[in-house]
Amino acid sequence: MKGIIFTEFIDMAEKYFSPEMVDILLSETNLPSKGIYTSIGSYDISELLALIDVLSKHSDKTVKELLQFFGFYLFGRLASIYQELLTDITGTFQMLEKLDDHIHVEVKKLYPDADIPKFEVIHIDKKELKIRYQSSRPLADLAEGLIKGCIAHYNEKLELTRHNISEYPPYEALFCINDVNGYGK
């Protein structure tokens, strides 16, 4: 997993919990990296899951809630850092529709060794988008948070539901995004 995910997680933990919490996270986890991350490095997913598990034990949040919260936060950060990738994208449906064929292609140019999840559009019209998420990692909760962050970024009133398809590798979920008022805002 790319280091930017780890550096952003540490920043989120410091901002929304405390610098002391970050110290606890790093001291209570036995991380091969020792918690020293660079945004361009690559690290094992087990380190992120260990950090989230310890954060859950020291907060009133479940692992699921923390993954979703981090995903929500992460979308905003990535949209800010890589805003050139979002040029000409005006809403959630358009963003998710272009995710695999545009955004992830550009991410692969920046990080050729990145193991990127697949988001396959199954159905799209003005009121509904169905997208299948597939990943080698158990991060459907993070993906859900990212989608919620995308919806918030575009300030849209959309309903999101998730149906887990497989909780074993490859991990799969179906996300349904509905606009009960018509396409977009």
* pTM, entire model: 0.94
Model pLDDT for residues 134-148, shown as the tens digit of each residue: 999 999 999 999 999
Mean per-residue pLDDT, 157-181: 95
DSSP string, the chain: -BHHHHHHHHHHHHHHT-HHHHHHHHHHS--TTTT---TT-B--HHHHHHHHHHHHHTSS--HHHHHHHHHHHHHHHHHHHTGGGGTT--SHHHHHHHIIIIIHHHHHHH-TT--PPEEEEEEE-SSEEEEEEEESSS-HHHHHHHHHHHHHHTT---EEEEEEEESSSSEEEEEEEE-TTSS--
Q: Name the least confident of 63-67, 99-103, 171-175.
A: 99-103
Residue 15, pLDDT above cutoff 70: yes
Mean per-residue pLDDT, 46-52: 98
